[in-house]
């Protein structure tokens, strides 16, 4: 056996120190780490079947599950390594081999200021009722944004926050709020059962890990309609696709009613993606923030085209209540946080992004030069500086001799 608890601990220490987001442990391969969005392999021995079983026995912490290990095909749980970090664990089988994907979660709950989130997020956090949806692809920082919003409430309001998670990620300490964190499996059998019970447990704020199906959404909407503030996540990329996804989970006969209810109870959406910073030291969160204004409500109900919500989003930028992706990209670029190339590639509409730069941009000559360079066939000299494939990290793991 090449790996043991001490080596796993050393690996996780490295991950925390270097801000690694995910660890890939696969039978027959060396470990891989996701750093700044890229997968990097580390030097070391390949993980054996025995190593994988040892990892699982440590991380699962459940003898009943381990008794089924030989026939286990998937399993999700969480694990805490002392005061170092928490780990979200996802076990899977592939091609008759085992794998573990570990999401590293800091023991320190992030704050809005530390994450550098826009003022519109703080204003949304001040809501006392309604439905707030945080959206994005896997690994886009949804959990961190939600945790920061909840920590702001925890620090400023005297209320009861009830979370239903699979698994629990950030661990909160009650400050002004009372916080009850429930984990699927350990504390309740399902989201649906926990949500039905939640309405009888005197919550002011209900946090749902993910809106996965029509029943979960139905209960979330009911909770928002009855005066609660409800947080949920959806794997969508922007406000329009979020509304479409929520509505499409219901049968056609129910969709019009869902649109009407959603238009009345939705507080807003935060859609985000992570982009590499100009200094190469990390990633920054770019966000589309939508507040449910009169124009947005009309679009959700179907009185106006759903695409018209983008006009409402952009108009809210001046009042710091909303912003489009492209507006935020403009801010990030002008503040020299991301490069022009990253911004233009991430823009929902490259044309609108470039127009934003032309209004009040101090660096208009530089922007024009960059645009001309980008349009040429062979003039993009920055391409030589781009990352080239998967790198190898030098991390000395002291393996036991087999």
Please report where in the chains the tokens 């947080």 appear, as a residue: 231
Q: Is the pLDDT of residue 392 over 80?
A: no
The CA distances from residue 5 to 42, 56, 226, in Å, are 18, 11, 48
For the segment 183-218, what is each residue's pLDDT rounded down to a tens digit?
A: 988 899 988 899 889 999 999 999 998 898 999 999
Sign of CA dihedral 200, 201, 205, 206: negative
Same fold for the pair 5-107+389-393 and 112-323: no
Domain 112-323 annotated CATH 3.40.50.300: yes
Residue ranges of domains in the chain = 5-107+389-393, 112-323
How many other CB atoms are there within 10 angstroms of residue 329's CB atom?
30
136-145: string of b/e by CB count within 10 Å (b at 16+)? beeebbbbbb
For the segment 242-284, what is each residue's pLDDT rounded down to a tens digit?
A: 999 999 999 999 999 999 999 999 999 999 999 999 998 889 9
Q: Answer yes or no: are the C-beta atoms of 129 and 206 closer than 8 Å.
A: no
pTM of the predicted model over 0.85:
no
Fold of 5-107+389-393: Beta-Lactamase (3.30.450)
**Given pLDDT bands bounded at 50, 70 and 90, which one contains residue 37?**
confident
């Amino acid at each position: 056996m090449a790996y043991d608890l001490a080596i796993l601990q050393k690996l996780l220490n490295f991950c925390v120190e270097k801000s690694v987001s995910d660890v890939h442990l696969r039978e027959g391969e060396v470990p891989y780490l996701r750093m700044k969005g890229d997968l990097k392999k580390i030097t070391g021995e390949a993980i054996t079947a025995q190593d994988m079983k040892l990892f699982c026995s440590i991380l699962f912490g459940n003898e009943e599950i381990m008794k089924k290990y030989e026939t286990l095909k998937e399993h999700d749980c969480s694990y805490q390594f002392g005061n170092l970090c928490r780990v979200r664990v996802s076990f899977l089988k592939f091609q008759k081999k085992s794998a573990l994907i570990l999401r590293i979660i800091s023991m320190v709950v992030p704050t809005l200021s530390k994450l550098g989130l826009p003022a519109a997020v703080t204003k949304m956090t001040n809501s006392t009722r309604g439905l707030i949806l945080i959206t994005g692809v896997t690994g886009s920082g949804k959990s961190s944004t939600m945790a920061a919003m909840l920590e702001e409430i925890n620090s400023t309001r005297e209320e009861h926050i009830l979370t239903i998670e699979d698994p629990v990620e950030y661990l909160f300490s009650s400050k002004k709020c009372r916080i009850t964190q429930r984990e699927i499996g350990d504390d309740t059998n399902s989201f649906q059962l926990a949500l039905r019970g939640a309405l009888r447990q005197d919550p002011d704020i209900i946090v749902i890990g993910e809106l996965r199906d029509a029943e979960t959404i139905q209960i979330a909407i009911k909770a928002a309609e009855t005066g609660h503030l409800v947080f949920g996540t959806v794997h969508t990329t922007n406000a329009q696709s979020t509304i479409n996804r929520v509505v499409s989970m219901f049968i056609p006969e129910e969709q019009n009613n869902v649109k009407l209810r959603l238009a009345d109870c939705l507080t807003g959406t935060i859609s985000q993606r992570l982009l590499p910073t100009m200094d190469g030291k990390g990633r920054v969160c770019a966000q589309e923030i939508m507040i449910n204004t009169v124009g947005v409500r009309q679009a959700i109900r179907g009185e106006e085209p759903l695409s018209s919500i983008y006009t409402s989003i952009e108009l809210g930028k001046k009042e710091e209540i909303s912003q489009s992706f492209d507006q935020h990209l403009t801010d990030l670029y002008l503040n020299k946080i991301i490069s022009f190339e990253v911004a233009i590639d991430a823009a929902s509409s490259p044309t609108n992004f470039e127009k934003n730069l032309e209004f009040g941009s101090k660096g208009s000559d530089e922007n024009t030069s960059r645009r001309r360079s980008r349009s040429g066939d062979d003039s993009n000299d920055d391409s030589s500086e781009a990352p080239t494939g998967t790198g190898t990290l030098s991390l000395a793991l002291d393996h036991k001799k087999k």
